[in-house]
């Protein structure tokens, strides 16, 4: 089969799985009105599927900072951090992230995806081991492949399985990088960090925590799961993204190990790509301040999340293991998930549709993401629609 025929076969299989489901993926957003509303298909739609957890996307401070950076430094850096793309803003943001986490070192990457790729492939290589959670994000998995290390998965959040695999590694556990996430992107649950730290210490391994979805969301100042659990000193490397709570694009790794800096000279996803634009760096710097001081935003976010989670559960929906800004509704089949997605869109509510193989264990999900800018009235409207649709779902 030729390369193009293989693509045709994959496209046909996709269509057969869900004949009218393809519209749900990559739907065009025609205009964005605010952190909670956009125009889709000519209609004003409530956005319940963005990663804009603190609702900061239209904040005047961030917009002004971005405008000013464009005016002063231009639209793009046109080069790598290793060459002509290392502006004072990139270095200032690294310093600010290091201060925020009270860590010695920080590297800023061009995306969150590249932060994982660059950190993992810089830390481990052939002969080393990566031990990753079964629900790990694709950027973690791809980073592991790029590194050439041996990849072992443990069952999602299953500490007995993690311990079994560490034990089996024998002396190799000392050359093992364990990788987990603060909040998992599909079901919205958190890693049992205290137990993971105990195991990593007992087996002399190294721990990387991806706080992509937990930054801004957990902890008094929004550091993430490390702050909520008080375990920041126990985690070797923290990665995260600017594209969720910080409403920009880019990523970072912070660490107390000064050796992190060496990654700048070996990590291809850091070296062989252009640095983030001045505008995104400037807006991220402004957003980081708002995030750190954003206790009220976090309170609103959690109020909204708990309200939606509890309401959906009460209606009879099968939801993820714990409340949080990602509320995943698990459906019996892709067809049922699509019917629910269509029903919500019919009521001008946008959520994410996640079908196998993207979701763990072959699940089909309708995934809601809550933010601090949603009003209680908006969440109530969502609940009413979910409630009406419950009875109509074919089982």
- CA distances for 91 relative to 119, 177, 278, angstroms: 18, 27, 12
Any contact of residue 52 with ligand PMP (CB under 6 A)? no
**Residue closer to ligand PMP (CB basis): 250 or 294:** 250
Which is nearer to ligand PMP, 139 or 173 (by Cβ)?
Answer: 139
Q: HSE of 244 in the Cβ direction (CA atoms, 13 Å)?
A: 26
Q: Figure out which of the listed residues 50, 52, 77, 116 binds ligand PMP, where binding follows CB under 6 A.
A: 116
- Near ligand PMP in 243-272, by CB under 6 A: 243, 251
| Residue placing its CB nearer to ligand PMP in the complex, 68 or 80 | 80
Stretch that binds ligand PMP, among 77-85, 108-116, 150-158, 312-320 (CB under 6 A): 108-116
Under rule CB under 6 A, residue 113 binds ligand PMP: yes
Candidates 18, 191, 199, 212: give the one binding ligand PMP (CB under 6 A).
Answer: 212
Among 137, 300, 307, 374, binds ligand PMP (CB under 6 A): 137
Q: Which stretch binds ligand PMP (CB under 6 A): 121-129, 158-166, 206-214, 309-317?
A: 206-214
Q: Please tell me whether residue 135 binds ligand PMP under the rule CB under 6 A.
A: no
| The one among 241, 245, 364, 385 contacting ligand PMP by CB under 6 A | 241
Cβ distance to ligand PMP smaller for residue 298 or 367: 367
237 contributes a contact to ligand PMP by CB under 6 A:
no
Dmax of the chain from CA atoms?
Answer: 61
Per CB under 6 A, the list member of 94, 181, 189, 227 interacting with ligand PMP is 181
Residue number, nearest CB to ligand PMP: 112
How many other CB atoms are found less than 10 A from the CB of residue 138? 11
CA dihedral (52, 54, 56, 61) in degrees, to 10, reads -150
CA nearest neighbour of 194 among 140, 230, 156: 230
310: burial class by Cβ within 10 Å (0-12, 13-18, 19+)?
Answer: middle
Closest C-alpha to 279, from 308, 300, 248: 248
Considering the complex, what minimum distance in angstroms separates the CB of residue 239 from ligand PMP?
7
Cβ closer to ligand PMP: 189 or 307? Answer: 189
Q: How far is the CB of 280 from ligand PMP (least distance, A)?
A: 11
Extended strands (E) in the chain:
31-32, 37-40, 43-47, 105-109, 129-133, 150-154, 176-181, 206-210, 237-241, 251-255, 318-319, 326-331, 349-350, 352-354, 364-369
User: Which residue stretch of 208-216, 217-225, 278-286, 319-327 sits at the interface with ligand PMP (rule: CB under 6 A)?
Assistant: 208-216
Integer Cα distance of 261 and 241 in angstroms: 18
* Residue that is written with structure tokens 């046909």 in the block: 12
Indicate whether 110 belongs to the interface with ligand PMP (CB under 6 A).
Answer: no
C-alpha to C-alpha distance for 123 and 163, rounded to whole angstroms = 22
Residues that bind ligand PMP (CB under 6 A): 111-113, 116, 137, 139, 181, 185, 210, 212-213, 241, 243, 251
């Amino acid at each position: 089969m030729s390369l193009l025929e293989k693509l045709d076969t994959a496209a046909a299989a996709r269509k057969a799985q869900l004949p009218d489901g393809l519209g749900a993926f990559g739907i065009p957003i025609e205009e964005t009105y605010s952190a909670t509303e956009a125009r889709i298909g000519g209609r004003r739609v409530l956005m319940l599927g963005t990663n804009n957890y603190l609702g900061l996307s239209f904040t005047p401070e961030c917009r002004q900072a971005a405008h000013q950076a464009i005016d002063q430094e231009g639209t793009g850096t046109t080069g790598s951090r290793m060459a002509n793309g290392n502006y004072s803003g990139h270095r200032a943001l690294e310093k600010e992230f290091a201060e925020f986490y009270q860590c010695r070192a920080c590297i800023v990457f061009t995306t969150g995806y590249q932060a994982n790729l660059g950190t993992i492939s810089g830390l481990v290589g052939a002969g080393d081991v990566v031990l990753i959670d079964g629900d790990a994000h694709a950027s973690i998995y791809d980073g592991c492949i790029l590194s050439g290390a041996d990849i072992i998965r443990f069952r999602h959040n299953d500490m007995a399985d993690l311990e079994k695999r560490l034990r089996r590694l024998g002396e190799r556990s000392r050359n093992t990088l364990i990788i987990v996430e603060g909040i998992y992107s599909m079901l919205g649950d958190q890693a049992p960090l205290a137990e993971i730290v105990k195991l990593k210490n007992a087996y002399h391994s190294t721990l990387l925590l991806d706080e992509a979805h937990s930054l801004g969301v957990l902890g008094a100042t929004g550091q993430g799961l490390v702050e909520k659990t008080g375990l920041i000193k126990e985690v070797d490397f923290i990665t995260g993204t600017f594209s969720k709570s910080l409403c920009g694009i880019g990523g970072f790794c912070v660490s107390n190990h000064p050796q992190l800096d060496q990654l700048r000279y070996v990590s291809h996803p850091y070296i062989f790509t252009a640095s983030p634009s001045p505008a995104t760096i400037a807006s991220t710097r402004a957003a980081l301040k708002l995030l750190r001081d954003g206790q009220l935003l976090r309170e609103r976010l959690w109020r909204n999340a708990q309200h939606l989670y509890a309401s959906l559960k009460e209606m009879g929906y099968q939801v993820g293991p714990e409340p949080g800004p990602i509320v995943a509704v698990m459906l019996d089949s892709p067809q049922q998930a699509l019917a629910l997605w269509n029903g919500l869109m019919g009521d001008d509510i946008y959520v994410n549709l996640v079908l196998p193989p993207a979701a763990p264990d072959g699940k089909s999900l309708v995934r809601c993401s809550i933010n601090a800018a949603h009003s209680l009235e908006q969440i109530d409207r969502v609940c009413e629609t979910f409630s009406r649709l419950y009875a109509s779902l074919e089982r």
